[in-house]
Every structure is written in C-alpha cells, then in structure tokens.
Amino acid sequence: MPVYLISKIADPIFALAIGTSAALLRIQRDQREKFPERASEIGIGSVMQLGTNRIKRWWVGDFNGL
C-alpha cells in the first residue's frame, strides 16, 4: 500500500482521536470546576457515561421541545 494512501486514511482517524480526547478533557475540566466537591470522582469514564446517557435520552426524545 503506498504511503500517501496510508496517510489519507490515517490523518482523519488521528484528527478524530485528537479532537475527541480534547473534548473529553475539556468537559472533564468544566465538570470539576462546576462540582469541586466531587472533583476526585470525575474521570474520563464518568464523562463518557454522562455523554452516553444524554445520547440515549436524546434518542428516545427526552429533549424535544426544549
């Protein structure tokens, strides 16, 4: 497989990984600032769980009409 083809495939995957990790870290920081008493409990896993729960709620229509 030519190098330029690998680069065309790998670059978007790399960009998606960097963007996702930056968003997760920003959300984690914001949550820790919002809830300083629980800062030690707020990790990447809890941020991902929060996002998953919100997507599930959106999927079933909990946010309609907001």
pLDDT one-digit tens code per residue, 22-40? 999 999 999 999 999 999 9
Q: Centre a 10 Å sphere on the Cβ of residue 42 and count the other Cβ atoms it contains.
A: 20
**Structure-token pair, residue 26:** 């920003």
Taking the C-alpha atoms of residue 38 and residue 22, their distance in angstroms, rounded to an integer, is 21
Amino acid sitting at position 13: I
Report the predicted TM-score, pTM, of the whole model to 2 decimal places: 0.70
Q: Determine the Cα–Cα distance for residues 43 and 8; give it in Å rounded to an integer.
A: 33
Residue with tokens 């959106």: 58
Task: Spell out the residues 6+ positions from residue 66 whose beta carbon is closer than 8 angstroms to its own.
Answer: none
Tell me what pLDDT residue 7 has: 81
